Amino acid sequence: MTSLDTLTINSDRLRSDFDALAEIGKTRGGGISRLALSTADIEARSWFADRIEDAGLFLRDDDVGNVSGVLFSSQKNARTLLVGSHLDSVPNGGRYDGAVGVLAGLEVLRIVKEAGLELPVHLEVIDFTDEEGTWQSLFGSMGLVGHLSAAHFSDMIDDRGPFRAALKRAGIHPNDYLKARRDPATIAAYLELHIEQGRQLYDAAIDIGVVTRIIGRTTYQLTFLGEAGHSGTTRPENRRDALKGASDFILQAFDLVEAEFPLGTFNCGNINVLPGAYNIIPREARLTVECRHPDKARLRDLEAAIVRLAQDCASKHNLHLKTHHFVHMPAAEMDDSIINTIQEVCDKLHYSHVPMISYAGHDAQIMSTITPSGMIFIPVVEGISHNPKEYAEWDDVVKGANVLLHTVLAIALREGTPEQISYKRS
């Protein structure tokens, strides 16, 4: 087993992949725009497919556009150990978000293949479609686990014609999405390496974050409805100012979350005011609101408390309230056994580590609904992400990739007896 323990990923090759990928969809400020299904995203998938074939891996794609490379086990009835992340980005985002996980996964498969290891699992590195939600957040992993429905493609709530057109342009047929679903019995586990996107590891100078759970989130639209009126001549007691009510709600919502949901977050990312003239009292204020909480039940409580608060603020300001629910994505637990394995690997490699909650969403939260899943976080400078300034020290990327490699090997070990892992130099 000593020889397994000394395996390390090839830092230069990983770096060369990283730099090549960072050219695709690069923006002037050093950032990345690879919106899902865009020309840049399609180019990145194509580049990734070439790397898979260069590595002598089996190239696979499915009916929701996920692209993967497979290193088959020769064992009968072997299950698949998936590793991956996503190659798409937010507009003018960073080079590390998603890319690190996919490229490190590819590197792990190359190392295992080159070492001639015969594992009792198929290894598969996967690039999930549209993690960032250009069209449908976590689309690829949702398709793989079977969480998509016709509603995701239909025009029931809004016009999804452009989404269907973008899928078709990328060679994905919206009607075939059910074929992308995989039988959970065929999957051993899912592992994802990712930058933290917060500053916990960076501030504490810790090498690795071992994710214990991924925060759940709920997003909705709250519309406060009042009455338009002349800004000068309407007496204060007759004002029904939708923006004033909305402002009261926003401020109180932060206080509520801080006081009653210390692990939760609240964000109001946008507000639209009608009619919008300087001299007319706002008759409508439409807010885009998001709540996150790492605990499933508490997220439900938080969501209910926020809507109650909005109703109270509407009453207080003599307004009506309309709510429209977009997404409820429950919190996800990472697998205890995988958490332990990652911690053991870190200890063996002498990397400092800390258990942590992911306050961002990831494909791992979807995968965890059908298979034991785990996530490995690495520090990102000053916690900056979704930003051209996003930057991770290369040493940290390499450390993360090595943790991924040895976690893959340890999980593979559990799938069969140690004897089944044998050297078979090609």
Contacting positions for a second copy (CB under 8 A): 196-199, 215, 217, 219, 228-236, 238, 241, 243-244, 246-248, 250-251, 254, 258, 265, 267-271, 273, 276-282, 288-290, 292, 326, 359-361, 383, 385-387
DSSP alpha helix (H) spans, 31-98:
39-54
**Comparison of 160 and 283: residue with beta carbon closer to a second copy:** 283
**Comparison of 51 and 160: residue with beta carbon closer to a second copy:** 160
Which residues make beta-bridge pairs with 82? 124, 190
**Comparison of 17 and 303: residue with beta carbon closer to a second copy:** 303
Q: Write down the least CB distance from residue 18 to a second copy, Å.
A: 22
**Comparison of 164 and 286: residue with beta carbon closer to a second copy:** 286
What is the radius of gyration, based on Cα positions, of the chain? Answer: 24
**Comparison of 29 and 419: residue with beta carbon closer to a second copy:** 29
SS3 for 384?
coil
**Cα→Cα distances 11→22, 101, 103, 110, 377, Å:** 16, 14, 11, 12, 18
Q: Write down the least CB distance from residue 199 to a second copy, Å.
A: 7
Separation of alpha carbons 81 and 97, rounded Å: 22
Amino acid making up residue 348 = K
Helix (H) or strand (E) holding 273: strand 265-274
Q: Write down the least CB distance from residue 243 to a second copy, Å.
A: 6
Q: Write down the least CB distance from residue 394 to a second copy, Å.
A: 22
Q: Write down the least CB distance from residue 390 to a second copy, Å.
A: 10
Q: Write down the least CB distance from residue 391 to a second copy, Å.
A: 15
**Comparison of 45 and 244: residue with beta carbon closer to a second copy:** 244
What is residue 278's DSSP assignment? T
- The alpha carbon torsion through 21, 25, 31, 33 (nearest 10 deg) reads -120
**Comparison of 171 and 276: residue with beta carbon closer to a second copy:** 276
**Comparison of 59 and 384: residue with beta carbon closer to a second copy:** 384
Q: Write down the least CB distance from residue 105 to a second copy, Å.
A: 22
Q: Write down the least CB distance from residue 196 to a second copy, Å.
A: 7
Separation of alpha carbons 369 and 356, rounded Å: 19
Closest CA to 386 of 20, 15, 27, 23: 27
> Residue 159, Cβ neighbours under 10 Å: how many?
8
**Comparison of 163 and 202: residue with beta carbon closer to a second copy:** 202
Q: Write down the least CB distance from residue 290 to a second copy, Å.
A: 5
**Cα→Cα distances 73→102, 115, 415, 422, Å:** 20, 14, 12, 12
Separation of alpha carbons 406 and 412, rounded Å: 10
Separation of alpha carbons 200 and 211, rounded Å: 12
Helix orientation angle between 296-316 and 242-260, rounded to the nearest 10 degrees: 150
